[in-house]
Amino acid sequence: MVQVATKFADQLHAFFEANDCVNAEIGLLQPADPYLETAGEDFRRLMFLTSDQTSTNLCLRPEFTVPVCLHHLASGQIPVRYGYVGTVFRQREDEPHEFDQAGIEDLGNENRVEADIASLLDAETILRKLGVGDITILLGDQAIFKALLLALGLPKAWQEKLGREFGDTERLNQSLERLSGESSNPYEDLPADLVEHINSDDAQAVAGWVTDKMRASGLPLSAGRTPSAIASRLMDKVELASATLSDENRSALEQFLEIDAPIEDAAKIMGEFEAANNLSFGPSFENLKARFEGIQSSGMENCSVHYQASFGRRLDYYTGQVFEIYASNGKRPLVGGGRYDHLMSILGAESTVPAVGFSIWMDRLEQVVS
């Protein structure tokens, strides 16, 4: 069994047991590929990597969520909540590389609103039990921005691009600027015969042209991008090249991203935004409001909760509520959490598995309560 360093381990395990969380026993040495496939190359730089004699990439456990999900996937997948506490290893600039994390992952619960609220409240309750005083909770939502892009009727390619950039407001604003500007020449560097196929709107001929080119280059036709995928994206691109983002849509997006309000006022402000821009967020907003109400009626004390419309994570498996909890005046979050309904399918689940969880940075917590 893995040695647990944090002095709070017993209290954490007692909380898990009292709240029907299954103990997740996760090894220190983990396969690296699931992390690289889910969190990507940026995460590689944070990990401590090694390999075994068969050249399998391994890493020192950098977090728990991915292995907990893999464990769940292998073990039958009835809805279950997992609790964990243990050491993780990350290359961090001015914090220790070896530290403890604790958290709960709630997998398979179809009642998403209820599970989202419970996840946030569990995190808050644990902080209280371990002696943290005043806290600030930052709330965001990955789904509502996508709902807004849809409601504005933006082209699908733009929705996808902007949706991906959600969470990085600077980049998002650059993209809005670019989409509002002069259109580009989509025919640049394209051979004349190909342009002719495009102009006659002949998708098959475009795909045929690409097929010939791939054959001539010795490229496998099915291992990666297919001729039809390349052809259809090219034609979409040509069609979109003349489009620009309207001033109204740009202003709506910018207004939305600036919404930052105490949870008590957030729903009202969002409703006013809908009315002013003559649009509807749809079901995502009902979902958000239900969460806001649940959180407000929970009776949390010594706690200010803010909804910030631009707050999100640039990881494509996060799908709904995201949150961070700070000690008042704290710069770094003590807790990070959120709903990640896409993660289990990326890791191999055949259908979507509702998933929500949080993780506590125990090293930061210990500094706050010491």
Partner 1 sequence: MSFTIAIPSKGRLKERSIEIFNEAGFNVELPDNARSYYGQLKNTPGDVEIAFLSASEIARELIAGNIQMGITGEDLARETIADAEAYVEFCVPLQFGHADVVIAVPEAWVDVANVADLDDVAAEFRARHGRRLRIATKYWHLTQNFFANHGITAYRIVESLGATEGAPASGSADIIVDITSTGTTLRANQLKILSDGIILKSQAVLMASKKAEWGENDRVIKQTLCEGIANIL
Closer to partner 1 by Cβ: residue 195 or 259: 195
Q: At what angle do helices 156-165 and 169-180 cross, to 10 degrees?
A: 150
- Residue span binding partner 1 (CB under 8 A) among the ranges 15-23, 187-195, 246-254, 361-369: 187-195
For position 27 contacting partner 1 by CB under 8 A, the verdict is: no
Own/partner contacts of 241-245, CB < 8 Å, gap of 24 or more, are: 241/183, 241/184, 241/185, 241/186, 242/183, 243/155, 243/183, 244/179, 244/180, 244/181, 244/182, 244/183, 245/154, 245/158, 245/176, 245/179, 245/180
Which residue from 223, 242, 297, 370 is in contact with partner 1, where contact means CB under 8 A?
A: 223
Give the angle subtended at the CA of 249 by the CAs of 244 and 250, to the nearest 5°.
75
Express the helix, strand and coil content of the chain in percent, nearest 5 each.
45, 20, 35
In eight-state DSSP terms, residue 26 is -
Closer to partner 1 by Cβ: residue 152 or 207: 207
Which residue from 234, 257, 288, 356 is in contact with partner 1, where contact means CB under 8 A?
A: 234
Nearest residue to 317 (alpha-carbon basis) of 74, 168, 143, 157: 143
CA dist 138 to 143, 304, 312, Å?
16, 9, 10
For position 44 contacting partner 1 by CB under 8 A, the verdict is: yes
Which residue from 92, 225, 268, 332 is in contact with partner 1, where contact means CB under 8 A?
A: 225
For position 218 contacting partner 1 by CB under 8 A, the verdict is: yes
Closer to partner 1 by Cβ: residue 7 or 178: 178
Which residue from 168, 202, 293, 366 is in contact with partner 1, where contact means CB under 8 A?
A: 168
Closer to partner 1 by Cβ: residue 7 or 215: 215
Q: Do residues 241 and 183 make contact, with C-beta atoms less than 8 angstroms apart? A: yes
- Residue span binding partner 1 (CB under 8 A) among the ranges 99-107, 121-129, 154-162, 277-285: 154-162
Tokens of 323: 């949150």
End-to-end CA distance of the chain: 28
For position 316 contacting partner 1 by CB under 8 A, the verdict is: yes
In eight-state DSSP terms, residue 84 is E
Closer to partner 1 by Cβ: residue 139 or 198: 198
**Footprint (CB under 8 A) of partner 1, residues 296-315:** 314-315
Q: Do residues 214 and 226 make contact, with C-beta atoms less than 8 angstroms apart? A: no
Total residues binding partner 1 (CB under 8 A): 41
Nearest residue to 106 (alpha-carbon basis) of 355, 358, 347, 359: 355
Least distance to partner 1, CB of residue 250, Å? 18
For position 110 contacting partner 1 by CB under 8 A, the verdict is: no
**Footprint (CB under 8 A) of partner 1, residues 236-265:** 237
Which residue from 144, 147, 230, 245 is in contact with partner 1, where contact means CB under 8 A?
A: 230
d(CA 326, CA 246) in angstroms, rounded, equals: 38
Give the rounded distance of the alpha carbon of 195 from its chain centre. 39
Sketch the per residue contact string, 188 through 217, with partner 1: x for CB under 8 A, - otherwise. xxx---x--------------xx--xx-xx
For position 233 contacting partner 1 by CB under 8 A, the verdict is: yes
For position 290 contacting partner 1 by CB under 8 A, the verdict is: no
Which parts of this chain interact with partner 1 (CB under 8 A)? 36-37, 40-42, 44-45, 157, 160-161, 164-165, 168, 171, 188-190, 194, 209-210, 213-214, 216-220, 223-225, 227, 229-231, 233-234, 237, 314-316, 346
